[in-house]
Amino acid sequence: MLPARDLDHIIEHTGGVWDTLAGKRIFITGGTGFVGTWLCESLLHADRGISAVVLTRYVDKFPFANPAVRPLEGDVRTFEFPDGEFAYVIHAATPASTDDHDSAATSRVLEFARTHGTERLLFTSSGAVYGKQPSEMTHIEEAHPCAPDTPYGQAKFAAESLLASYAVVARLFAFSGPHLPLDQNFAVGNFVRDVLSGGPIRIQGDGTPYRSYLYAADLAIWLWTLLVRGQPGRPYNVGSGHAVTIAELAQVVAASTVPRTPVEIAQTPVPGVPPPRYVPSVERAERELGLRPIIPLEEGVRRMYDWAKFHRWK
């Protein structure tokens, strides 16, 4: 269960979104992952008569006991369509491999939406669709040409192309918060894990890359707003514009959790080599939809640490 203050925060800052969604049915893929869990729990917390069907491969591990959110067992590429109309669809499933998984999955979800009365479809894409961010560009904008240079980015861009003007596209960057895995390739999760294990915080590289982090409660606010108010066919960067280096992030994690936790950096920066950047411009979301980060990085890290400590190191 997510912290009540985070769920209250989401409801407080989504205003009329819930009036629009009240009494409607929503179909969600990826509903048991990091993003999907925040969406499902905030939907239940809103308590507006909204019902959701969540596609999952493992019904026996389905985490929600409330009948307003019920599971549908199946693979996102081949699932059997549930009966009835679904006014809203959120396609948040992450590709399981580097083949054509995401395109096949997106084609299936699009077919479902077109045949089940769907009014709005939200697709969670990724900032990886841009490819390598130019070193001289502090924040990458949605108008920047997409040139994905990883299989993951290529899969997401192919899925965006399939959806064309039909879906609202959310290009996700980096996040912090409860349910973010601590043992995968997420720097903030790894650093929180290091603190929980007694330290030190270990940086495998040289600490110079720039990232930015949006707290998950704010992420949920952005996604619910995009589902209801975003413009179909128009991509929106979803993240924070507050850039920090990985070394600075490690210091923030230490200061926000167990001060004086040592930080170890494995490599030395190479002189003259510009640091990589993965930082979005989020001006479009603020200008068009009034969206902005609300919970500061330090507070988000503290909440993430407190939740993980209680639930995993109790």
Q: How high is the pLDDT of residue 1?
A: 87
Q: How high is the pLDDT of residue 100?
A: 57
With bands split at pLDDT 50, 70 and 90, how would you rate the model's confidence at 314?
very low
Rounded Cα–Cα distance for residues 289 and 237 (Å)? 12
pLDDT of residue 313 exceeding 60, the answer is no
Count of domains observed in the chain:
1
Share of the chain above pLDDT 70, in %: 97
Token digits for 2?
A: 């997510």
Q: What is the mean pLDDT of residues 160-176?
A: 96
Q: What is the mean pLDDT of residues 48-55?
A: 97
Q: How high is the pLDDT of residue 205?
A: 96
Q: How high is the pLDDT of residue 96?
A: 57
Residue 311 belongs to some domain of the structure = no
Residue 303 belongs to some domain of the structure = no
Query: Are the beta carbons of 175 and 213 closer than 8 angstroms?
Result: yes
With bands split at pLDDT 50, 70 and 90, how would you rate the model's confidence at 103?
confident
Q: How high is the pLDDT of residue 286?
A: 98
Q: What is the mean pLDDT of residues 88-106?
A: 78
Task: List % helix, strand, coil for the chain (3-state, nearest 5).
Answer: 40, 15, 45
Query: Are the beta carbons of 123 and 27 closer than 8 angstroms?
Result: no
Task: Identify the bridge partners of residue 260 per DSSP, sorted by sequence position.
Answer: none
pLDDT of residue 280 exceeding 60, the answer is yes
Q: What is the mean pLDDT of residues 262-274?
A: 96
Q: What is the mean pLDDT of residues 121-126?
A: 97
pLDDT of residue 256 exceeding 60, the answer is yes
Q: How high is the pLDDT of residue 164?
A: 86
Residue 69 belongs to some domain of the structure = yes
pLDDT of residue 98 exceeding 90, the answer is no
Residue 31 belongs to some domain of the structure = yes
Residue 272 belongs to some domain of the structure = no
Report the predicted TM-score, pTM, of the whole model to 2 decimal places.
Answer: 0.96
Q: Which domain holds residue 226?
A: 4-176+213-241+278-296
Residue 182 belongs to some domain of the structure = no
Contacting residues for 241 by C-beta, under 8 A, at least 6 apart: 139, 212, 279, 280, 281, 282, 283, 293
pLDDT of residue 237 exceeding 90, the answer is yes
pLDDT of residue 158 exceeding 50, the answer is yes
Q: How high is the pLDDT of residue 95?
A: 66
Q: How high is the pLDDT of residue 15?
A: 83
b/e string for 38-48 if b means 16 or more Cβ within 10 A? bbbbbbbbbeb
Q: How high is the pLDDT of residue 51?
A: 97
Task: Pick the range with the lowest mean pLDDT from 31-45, 87-101, 180-194, 248-262.
Answer: 87-101
Residue 262 belongs to some domain of the structure = no
- What is the domain-level CATH number for residue 290? 3.40.50.720
Q: What is the mean pLDDT of residues 63-88?
A: 96
Residue 46 belongs to some domain of the structure = yes
Cα distances (angstroms) measured from residue 91 to each of 47, 54, 76: 22, 10, 10
The rounded mean pLDDT for the chain is 95
Task: Identify the bridge partners of residue 54 per DSSP, sorted by sequence position.
Answer: 28, 71
| C-alpha closest to that of 238 among 278, 277, 279, 282 | 282
